[in-house]
């Protein structure tokens, strides 16, 4: 048990001093998460609005596919993206493999269904009189969409935070697409996996503490937003 206690002691020393390696890992993680969330919101919000607002043939099938994607294994996403961005793939010339941009592609595919599904549910739950009022006032399509999204903003924030939590804690596709390269594509989760496998518990524990703090902050935010949305 001594090695566990020693690991925690060294971990808290690292957190207090924030050595260069730990700092780079944390910065890379947040850089990847920010890039991924931009793509998730760019694709997820319009998709969720269209899915929740309009009725069209095959809508139920699309919703089923979206819900299925919520539980898609991350290694499967990593495998599919790897096939496309590897040197022999159709996007091989873009040199995305083992880069933060390449990792972000997998994260966007992972997070977009979450935002789309939550947004669709939120739009469907809006008062039907809102649409009638906006149409009576002659609102354009863009104004109608923005107003609807604004009315559902608390649920959309919940969706965004849920997607953020899934992305920041993801390891499967990040390992496959990023290669866990030190000083370049190593994130908190991939570093924890590597360091624990090597028996280097100090860095793993330090990064684990950071990840726990992020998760705690997310849960507090989600609880607050759920209460706001219910009021």
Half-sphere exposure of 70 (CA within 13 A, CB side): 14
Residue 219: predicted pLDDT? 78
Find out whether 82 and 178 touch, Cβ atoms under 8 Å. Answer: no
Domain regions of the chain by residue span: 2-230
Residues 57, 60: Cα–Cα separation, whole Å: 8
Residues 117, 45: Cα–Cα separation, whole Å: 9
Residues 4, 84: Cα–Cα separation, whole Å: 42
Residue 139: predicted pLDDT? 67
Question: Which comes out higher in pLDDT, residue 229 or 103?
Answer: 103
Question: Which comes out higher in pLDDT, residue 69 or 198?
Answer: 69
* Topology given in CATH for the domain delimited by 2-230: MetI-like fold (1.10.3720)
Residue 107: predicted pLDDT? 94
- Here the tokens at position 60 are 């139920």
Average pLDDT, the chain: 84
pTM attached to this predicted model: 0.85
3-class secondary-structure state, position 191: helix
User: Looking at 13-27, 38-52, 182-196, which range is the least confident one?
Assistant: 13-27
CA-closest candidate to residue 169, choices 214, 132, 127, 134:
214
Residue 202: predicted pLDDT? 74
Q: What is the pLDDT of residues 9-41, one digit of tens each?
A: 776 777 677 778 888 988 999 899 999 999 999
Q: What is the pLDDT of residues 109-167, one digit of tens each?
A: 999 999 999 999 988 888 777 777 777 776 676 778 888 888 888 888 888 988 988 89
């Amino acid at each position: 048990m001594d090695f566990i206690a020693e690991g925690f002691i060294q971990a808290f020393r690292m957190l207090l001093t924030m050595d260069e390696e730990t700092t780079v890992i944390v910065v890379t993680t947040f850089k990847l998460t920010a890039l991924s969330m931009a793509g998730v919101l760019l694709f997820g919000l319009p998709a969720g609005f269209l899915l929740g607002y309009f009725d069209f043939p095959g809508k139920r099938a699309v919703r089923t596919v979206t819900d299925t994607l919520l539980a898609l294994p991350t290694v499967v996403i990593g495998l599919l993206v790897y096939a496309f961005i590897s040197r022999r793939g159709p996007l091989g010339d873009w040199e995305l493999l083992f880069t933060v941009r390449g990792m972000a592609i997998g994260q966007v595919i992972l997070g977009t269904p979450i935002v789309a599904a939550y947004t669709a549910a939120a739009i469907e739950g809006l008062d039907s009189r809102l649409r009638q009022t906006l149409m009576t006032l002659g609102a354009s399509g863009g104004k109608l969409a923005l107003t609807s999204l604004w009315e559902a903003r608390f649920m959309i924030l919940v969706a965004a935070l849920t997607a953020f939590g899934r992305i920041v804690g993801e390891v499967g596709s990040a390992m496959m697409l990023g290669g866990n390269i030190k000083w370049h594509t190593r994130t908190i989760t991939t570093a924890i996996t590597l360091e624990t496998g090597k028996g280097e518990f100090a860095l793993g524990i330090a990064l684990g503490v950071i990840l726990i703090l992020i998760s705690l902050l997310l849960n507090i935010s989600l609880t607050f937003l759920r209460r706001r949305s219910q009021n």
